[in-house]
């Protein structure tokens, strides 16, 4: 029961202030619910009998956690994440922080629970700050592997859903998120798509299906020729309109 929620904040860049603060308000209700399930899984962890070495490692991971965690909520909250980022010498809007959250399977934007922290750092074999810092380039390589990237890409979207039952994300956030997640690999596509999203009036939000559609678009369609693009197929409509817009622009 002690586990409760450790978390930390970050990614303000992806999230407008309003969303962030409202997610903080909700945290108490949500955390109560979650603590039960997390307790049981923690007990299981101990029942399996960790070896001395791993338990030592775990101690160090917990120690590191406590350095950043908010003592009253037992979560690394946005402030803690910012501190962590500056210690890692990484801007808190850096894609690597999002990758770290992915590794931890962090559920709530801006917060790391102790369980998430343990999951992530254990997998990265990092129990000190310097090890964590060194692990980041490796982590980036791992995420950029084709087999992981789609999952990471989908995770990035889910991570930005801060409200209960929220299923879509506003255009502005989407544009920033696209820039961070896909900017380095599909620069041209992202630039055009962001430009399109900003001038169009049909969509105020983007949902998961459309988000994944753009990923498919980047990977399957040569750009800017787009000869393979067939609007008869089940592309989300927003991409049909996007392609139409580009074609008009090119013509």
Partner 1 sequence: MMARTIDFAQGWRIMQIGITKLEKHVEGLPGNSINSEQYIKLYTTVYVMCTQKPPHDHTEKLYNKYCEVLEEYTKSTALPSLRKTYDDEYMLLRVLLERWSIHKKMVRRLSRIFHYLDRYFVYRNSLLSLEEVGLACFVDMVYNTLQRRVREAVIAIVDKEREGDDTGIDRALLENIKDIYVEIGMGNMTRYEQDLESFMLEGTASYYSRKASRWIQEYSYFDYIRKSEECVKKEKKRMSHYLYASSEPELVKKVEHELFVVYANKLLEKKHSEFREIAGGLEPITNMFKQHVEDTDGQDTAAIRKVIEVHDKYIVYVTKCLENQTIFHKSLKEAFKFFCSKAVSGSSLSAESLATICDRIIILKKWASEELSDEAIEKVVKFLAYISDDKDLFAEFYKKKLARRLLLNRDASDDHERGIITKLKQQFGGNFTYKMEGMVTDLTLSRQNQNSFDEYVASNPAAKPGIDFNVTLLTTSVWPSYKTFDVNLPSEMVKCVEIFKVFYEAKHKRRKLTWLHSLDTCHINGKFDQKPIDLIVSTHQAAVLLLFNTRDQLNYTDIQTQLNLSHEDLVWVLHSLSCAKYKILIKEPATETVSKTDVFEVNSKFTSRMSRVKIPLSHVDERKKVVEYVNNDRRYAIEASIVRIMKGKKVLGHEQLVSECVKQLSGMFKPDVKAIKTRIEELIARDYLERDKMNPNMFRYLA
Give the interface with partner 1 as residue ranges (CB under 8 A).
Answer: 167-168, 207-210, 212-213, 216, 232-234, 236-237, 240
Query: Shortest Cβ distance from residue 168 to partner 1 (Å)?
Result: 7
For partner 1, the closer CB: 110 or 213? 213
Structure tokens at 48: 């399996």
Burial class (CB in 10 A: 0-12, 13-18, 19+), 213: buried
Q: Using the minimum distance from each CB to partner 1, give the nearer residue, 26 or 167.
A: 167
CB of 208 to partner 1, least distance (A): 8
Closest listed residue to residue 158, CA positions, set 149, 146, 168: 168
Q: Which is nearer to partner 1, 188 or 237 (CB)?
A: 237
Q: What angle do CA 120, 122, 125 make, to 5 degrees?
A: 110
Of the pair 171, 212, the CB lying nearest partner 1 is at: 212
Q: What is the largest CA-CA distance in the chain?
A: 68
Nearest to 206 by CA among 154, 149, 246: 154
Pairing of strands 205-207, 168-170: antiparallel
């Amino acid at each position: 029961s002690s586990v409760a929620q450790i978390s930390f904040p970050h990614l303000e860049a992806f999230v407008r202030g309003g969303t962030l603060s409202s997610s903080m308000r909700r945290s108490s209700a949500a955390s109560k619910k979650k603590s039960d399930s997390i307790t049981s899984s923690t007990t299981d962890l101990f029942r399996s009998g960790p070896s001395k070495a791993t338990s030592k490692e775990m101690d160090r991971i917990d120690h590191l956690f406590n350095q950043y965690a908010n003592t009253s909520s037992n979560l690394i909250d946005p402030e803690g994440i910012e501190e962590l980022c500056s210690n890692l010498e990484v801007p808190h809007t850096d894609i690597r922080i999002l990758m770290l959250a992915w590794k931890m399977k962090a559920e709530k934007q801006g917060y790391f629970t102790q369980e998430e922290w343990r999951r992530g750092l254990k997998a990265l074999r990092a129990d000190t700050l310097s090890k964590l810092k060194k692990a980041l380039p490796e982590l980036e390589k791992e995420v950029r592997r084709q087999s992981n990237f789609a999952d990471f890409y989908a995770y990035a979207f889910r991570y930005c859903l801060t409200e209960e039952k929220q299923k879509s994300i506003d255009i502005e956030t989407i544009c920033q998120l696209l820039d961070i997640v896909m900017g380095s690999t599909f620069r041209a596509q992202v630039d055009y798509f962001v430009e399109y999203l900003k001038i169009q009036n049909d969509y105020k939000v983007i949902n998961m299906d459309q988000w994944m559609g753009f990923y498919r678009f980047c990977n399957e369609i040569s750009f800017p020729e787009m000869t393979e693009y067939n609007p008869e197929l089940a592309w989300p409509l927003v991409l049909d309109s996007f392609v139409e817009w580009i074609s008009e622009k090119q013509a």
